Amino acid sequence: MNLAQPSARLAAAAAAGLTTLAVAAVVQASPPSPAPTGAQARTQAAKVAEAFVAGRPQVLHAGGDETFIAHPVISSAGLQYVPYDRTYKGLRVVGGDFVVVTDSAGQVRYTSVAQQQAIGSLAVTPTLARRDAEAVARKQLPTVSTVDSAELVVYALGTLRLAWETTVTGVSADGPSRLTVDVDAATGAVLRTQEHVVYGTGTSAYNGPNPVQINTSGSGSSFSMRDPTITNLSCQDYSTRAVFTGSDDVWGNGNATSKETGCVDALFAAQTEYRMLAAWDGRNGFDGNGGGWPLRVGLNDENAFYDGTQVAIGHNTRNQWISSLDVVAHELGHGIDDHTPGGISGGGTQEFVADTFGAATEWFANEPSAYDPPDFQVGEEIDLVGSGPIRYMYNPSLAGDPNCYSSSIPRTEVHAAAGPGNHWFYLLAMGSNPTNGQPASPTCNGSTVTGIGIQKAARIMYNAMLLKTSASSYLRYRVWTLQAAKNLFPGSCTEFNTVKAAWDAVSVPAQSGEPTCSGGTTPPTTPPGGTCSGQQLANPGFESGRVSWTSTSGVIGQYGSAGQPPHSGTWNAWLDGYGRTHTDTLSQSVTIPAGCHATLSFWLHIDSSETTTTTMYDRLTVRLGSSTVATFSNLNKASGYTQRSYDVSSLAGQTVTLTFTGTEDSILQTSFVLDDIALTLS
């Protein structure tokens, strides 16, 4: 198809939602506007995401009977995260959530999608009655106080099914419980259960030096332990739900058996974590909107928990209230997890996620050794049952927890399952042989890891949580943390490579299509036990738009209606086709591990208005790093796509940039159309 006039390409770009980009390539009468910030950036992100979702790209696995519900935009590190839920024929889809990430230029940078298949045509009439589903849910707890009315949903976490979902409140073998239960609406089988109760100036018992400063409310002779600026944050008696009050603004006596002293420690910990979230992560409060939850001291149990409405704090075997920095920050960390996309993390990851917030808060507070100094032990100050720390992040096996990931971890008791994640976080922050007085940490593959520091590690963890979906797992967290490192440190691969090396060191395997990084540093050598399999490129069929690719304007789009259909899906990459002097590029960095056989392949369609059979006027050059892999031209024009394949094993052990460069001369168009690009290891 001859598109000699630029306006024809612009029209095609407009059909793909790229009008602004294409016009910018032609009309340059005024300097670019500064990048939007604050509310402007969030508004722009919401509009960009809405347009992207309206195009129903293949990555969303969307059908005609689905609608999408956007949630408030979350800002972090110059990027905007737009979470979505979906419905099918009016029913909420459990596992249908996703996140769209945009940059300051208004481009979609990344998508994180829980659902892995299209719903298609699913009957929405249940054969199991609502009351029968509620009876099944009731049986999931030994003691039940309430059962919510069941809601009919589409269950998309695994095999697609119609289901009833309800929440049961009561007591489990572990203590208080709020359990959401999904019941197959045809068979009555339990598809999933999700627990929402996640355990985990005053004179302080644990912090210091005393007196510690806490923010309270009141004046004259009437004061209360209610934070004056953090919405819903106060400290209360667990039994009465009453906020502690006094005639002066002096609290506690330093004795950990006193509830009021327990509240001094709890409020101090919460307010310290609140400042850490703002300073290190740019987050506005625990719930993302400047708020938190009541802290309630006096739970008659050797435990503490968050349940979506409160943080309840119990006692140790000596009847001392266990409101130390890392315990309270851990429980509030569950709340942060609950109020980031995808909700509370699953697949055995929720306790390690909360532990990272406990550790970060201790390091942010940086108290002297006589009080609660920064370390990577969990609950070391409270001595819950008289046997020392509850968990050791640098060597989980010291508490009987696994150091290394295995396929059994998702089915392991959730606190023990935290072992590999805690180990990964320690290696990322401190490394395997730190020089700052922290202990050495053994690795599962015999490798050596150099840490990047607690603040960077905490930022990467938090930004990975902004990519989280309801399909969270250790394998997904590997991908999300790699992408977070790439987003946060775009000019460096040091942080990215350390994230990757730390996951390798705890045996969480590489994932197909996980991000790659080039520039700034040399990637680490593949450790023993590394894998040589799978696709190395992200978004290989362009179904997430420009995500993971760098290109000139108007290259990536949905061009089927403009005469350039994709090889598969609905998106492809169209280089040139203008019929004038023009250059288009398309690129992505990729790592080829040492010792691996690697094959580059892609589907290419070339059409041209050139009539010569001997002269190359327009060219497409394919390069990996500085190596030219192949060159095509107008002489290779043909109908339909042809798959091209090349052995690139000679580049093993390198991180290189895959680049397609299309150049046209002054007349007669040639279009180079690419789709389904792969760099496969074997």
pLDDT at 100 over 70: yes
If one counts every other C-beta atom within 10 angstroms of the C-beta of residue 248, the result is: 10
How many H-runs (helices) and E-runs (strands) does the chain carry?
Answer: 11, 32
pLDDT of residue 34: 61
pLDDT at 620 over 80: yes
The string of pLDDT tens digits covering residues 248-260 is 989 999 999 999 9
Question: How far lies 438's CA from each of 121, 316, 359, 431, 632, in Å?
Answer: 56, 27, 13, 10, 56
pLDDT at 261 over 60: yes
Nearest to 379 by CA among 354, 404, 358: 358
pLDDT at 526 over 50: no
* pLDDT tier, 18 (very low <50, low <70, confident <90, very high otherwise): very low
Pairing verdict, β 143-147 and 161-172: antiparallel
Asked if residues 91 and 163 have their Cβ atoms less than 8 Å apart, the reply is: no
pLDDT at 7 over 50: no
**DSSP track, 254-316:** S-TT-HHHHHHHHHHHHHHHHHHIIIII---STTSSSB---EEE--SSS-EEE-SS-EEE-B-
DSSP code, position 476: H
> For the residues 583-589, what does the mean pLDDT come to?
93
pLDDT of residue 104: 85
Q: Could you give the strand order of the β-sheet that contains 245-246, starting from the edge strand earlier in sequence?
A: 217-219, 222-224, 245-246
pLDDT of residue 364: 93
pLDDT at 524 over 60: no
The string of pLDDT tens digits covering residues 403-424 is 999 999 998 999 999 999 999 9
Residue bearing tokens 């699913």: 122
pLDDT at 525 over 50: no
> For the residues 583-598, what does the mean pLDDT come to?
90
Rounded to the nearest integer, the mean pLDDT of the chain is 88
pLDDT of residue 251: 93
The string of pLDDT tens digits covering residues 183-233 is 999 999 999 999 887 644 677 788 878 888 898 888 788 899 998 889 999
pLDDT of residue 563: 86
Q: Could you give the strand order of the β-sheet that contains 582-592, starting from the edge strand earlier in sequence?
A: 550-551, 582-592, 654-664, 619-624, 627-633
pTM: 0.68
The residues that bridge with 170 in the sheet, in sequence order, are: 144, 177
- Two tokens at 3? 């598109």
Asked if residues 675 and 541 have their Cβ atoms less than 8 Å apart, the reply is: yes
What domains are defined for the chain?
A: 35-113 (3.10.450.490), 140-195 (3.10.450), 197-340 (3.10.170.10), 534-681 (2.60.120.260)
pLDDT of residue 531: 58
For residues 32 and 238, the model is more confident at 238
* pLDDT tier, 98 (very low <50, low <70, confident <90, very high otherwise): very high
